Amino acid sequence: MSRHNKYKLSRAEALRQVDPIVDRYLKYLTADAEDTEILSHDPTRRDAIIAQLYADPNVKPSCWPRDIVGTDPSPEECDEYLAQADAAIDKLTPPQSLEDRVTRCHIATAAILVLQEYKWGYALQDYYDLQDKVFVQYNDKFADWMKNVFPQFRAQHPNVGLGGHPTCSSSMRQPSLSYQTPLIPPPMQNPGSPKAFSAEEVANFLSSPHTLLGKQFRSSPPPVDGHDYEGMWEVESYTTRMPQGRIDYEFVILLKDFGSVAIPMGQEEVKLLLTHSVIVA
């Protein structure tokens, strides 16, 4: 019997979960989009805040479900985690500082991945029609939000991050919950040696590029691959663009073995780098 069977829902319960799952997707995606946009206006300050956040020993610089809820959480533990994430995001909305936006973006990104794996993937695993229904509904709602709400948001925040955002106290405000928050995931189990990223992990990095910041990677491509850079690299910064109404990211990559030369790269180039890379720090 698969260990994922414990997440399965009855058809009736799965039907009742469709709307709540869609609502959560929209909550996390819109928070992520707003924060990523604002933080892209001042990459230097954004990166400094992220480094400050990840320097906290209680904060794990990871958004992967296995690091957030462990490798074999109970359905109740997943529900508890998502309830904590919702409470933390609500507490940080509207954000009062760039520090708030970094924190909220970190929480929302982790929550999206847990929601996708456990509440959409495993819980609805027997009902492909309901998985499709969730996918179509949240994509339609998010596309509508991007078309009708996000442009207004961008117009209202043209210079945020370039001196226009309120500052916060010297210590970053953390969500104050009664027990472990989504920002403080449990320790990694069996860390072992670095492993190559799965296709899903690469896609998640590219959809939430702030999770690349503050990490060092080592690229080891096969000789016949489309690029020949082998060595250490990291993301120095990234910017957000909206070509034809869709979010796109452009990156500045530091190639450490070439004297830390800064190279601009598009998403496909970074995807190729990630495909043959591991995290080393």
pLDDT tens digits along 147-187: 899 889 988 987 644 333 333 322 233 333 322 334 433 33
Rounded CA separation 72/30 (Å) = 29
Instruction: Tell me how crowded residue 90 is: count the other CB atoms within 10 A of its CB.
Output: 11
What is residue 200's predicted lDDT score, i.e. its pLDDT? 84
Residue 57's nearest CA partner among 173, 183, 205, 190 is 183
Calculate Rg over the CA atoms of the chain.
19
Phi first, then psi: give them for residue 262, nearest 5 degrees. Answer: -95, 125
Summarize pLDDT for 8-49 with one digit per residue, the tens: 999 999 999 999 999 999 999 899 889 988 988 888 898 889
Whether 189 is in a domain gets the answer no
Question: Which tokens sit at 249?
Answer: 């990211």
- Can you list the residues of the chain whose pLDDT is less than 70? 1-2, 60-61, 159-195, 223-229, 242-246, 257-261
What is residue 261's predicted lDDT score, i.e. its pLDDT? 66
In terms of domains, do 152 and 203 share one?
Answer: no
DSSP, collapsed to helix, strand or coil, labels residue 217 as strand
In terms of domains, do 215 and 130 share one?
Answer: no
In terms of domains, do 213 and 106 share one?
Answer: no
Whether 185 is in a domain gets the answer no
In terms of domains, do 139 and 220 share one?
Answer: no
* Domain hosting residue 257, numbered range: 199-279
In terms of domains, do 19 and 142 share one?
Answer: yes
In terms of domains, do 151 and 244 share one?
Answer: no
Whether 56 is in a domain gets the answer yes
Whether 97 is in a domain gets the answer yes
Whether 271 is in a domain gets the answer yes
Whether 14 is in a domain gets the answer yes
What is residue 61's predicted lDDT score, i.e. its pLDDT? 65
Rounded CA separation 198/47 (Å) = 25
Looking at the 3D structure of the chain, how many domains does it have?
A: 2
In terms of domains, do 9 and 104 share one?
Answer: yes
Whether 102 is in a domain gets the answer yes
DSSP, collapsed to helix, strand or coil, labels residue 195 as coil
In terms of domains, do 99 and 203 share one?
Answer: no
In terms of domains, do 19 and 115 share one?
Answer: yes
What is residue 198's predicted lDDT score, i.e. its pLDDT? 86
Amino acid at 178: S
What is residue 65's predicted lDDT score, i.e. its pLDDT? 84
DSSP, collapsed to helix, strand or coil, labels residue 272 as helix
Whether 165 is in a domain gets the answer no
